[in-house]
C-alpha cells in the first residue's frame, strides 16, 4: 500500500512538473508577444499616406463587388393593427405618394436618387431623374 501511495505521489509530481512546463511555455509565448506588439500589425499594409503614390488611385476596385440593398419607395402610410388584420386580397392601401410624383431610390436606407417608373419587356424598372448630391443629403439630414 505504501508502495502504491509512493507511486501515485511520483505520478502526481510528474504531472505537476508537466503542467508547470506547459505553463512555462505559455508564459514564454505571452512574454514574446508582449515584447513584439507590432508583429500582428504587420499583417496589414499601411494605407495612410499612400494617396499620392502611383498605383493607389484605382484601389477602390476591391469594394466594387460588395452587395448593397437598393430600394425603390413608392410611398408610405401608417395603419393601425386592427385595419392591417382586415386587409384581404383586393384591398387598397392609400399611400402618401401622389400619382406622377418621383419615387425615392434608397441604398441601404439612404436616399441617393429619385426617378420614375418604366416598363421594359413586361418588367418594372426605374429611370433615374435626379441624383442626390452628398451636400443635399447632409442638408436634408439637418432639416
Residues 90 and 131 in one domain: yes
C-alpha closest to that of 133 among 110, 100, 101, 109: 110
d(CA 4, CA 6): 5
d(CA 143, CA 140): 5
Which residues lie below 8 Å from residue 125, measured CB to CB, with a gap of 6+? 117, 118, 119
Q: What is the pTM of this model?
A: 0.50
Partners of 119 in beta bridges: 124
Q: What is the pLDDT along the chain (143 residues), one digit of tens a residue?
A: 545 544 454 545 555 556 566 777 777 777 666 565 554 545 556 655 555 555 555 677 778 889 999 999 888 899 999 999 999 999 999 888 888 888 999 998 888 999 998 888 988 899 999 998 888 888 877 77
Structure confidence at residue 130 (pLDDT): 92
Residues spanned by the domain of 19:
1-63
Q: How many helices (H) and strands (E) does the chain have?
A: 3, 4
Residues 22 and 72 in one domain: no
C-alpha closest to that of 56 among 44, 65, 67, 47: 47
Residues 53 and 77 in one domain: no
Number of separate domains in the chain = 2
Amino acid at each position: 500500500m505504501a508502495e502504491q501511495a509512493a507511486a501515485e505521489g511520483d505520478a502526481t509530481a510528474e504531472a505537476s512538473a508537466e503542467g508547470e512546463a506547459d505553463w512555462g511555455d505559455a508564459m514564454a509565448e505571452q512574454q514574446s508577444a508582449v515584447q513584439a506588439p507590432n508583429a500582428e500589425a504587420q499583417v496589414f499594409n499601411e494605407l495612410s499616406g499612400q494617396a499620392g503614390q502611383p498605383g493607389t488611385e484605382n484601389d477602390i476596385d476591391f469594394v466594387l463587388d460588395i452587395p448593397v440593398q437598393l430600394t425603390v419607395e413608392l410611398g408610405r402610410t401608417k395603419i393601425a393593427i386592427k385595419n392591417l388584420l382586415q386587409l384581404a386580397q383586393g384591398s387598397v392601401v392609400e399611400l402618401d405618394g401622389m400619382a406622377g410624383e418621383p419615387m425615392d431610390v434608397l441604398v441601404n436606407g439612404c436616399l441617393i436618387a429619385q426617378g420614375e417608373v418604366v416598363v421594359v419587356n413586361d418588367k418594372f424598372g426605374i429611370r433615374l431623374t435626379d441624383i442626390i448630391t452628398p451636400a443635399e443629403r447632409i442638408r436634408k439630414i439637418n432639416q
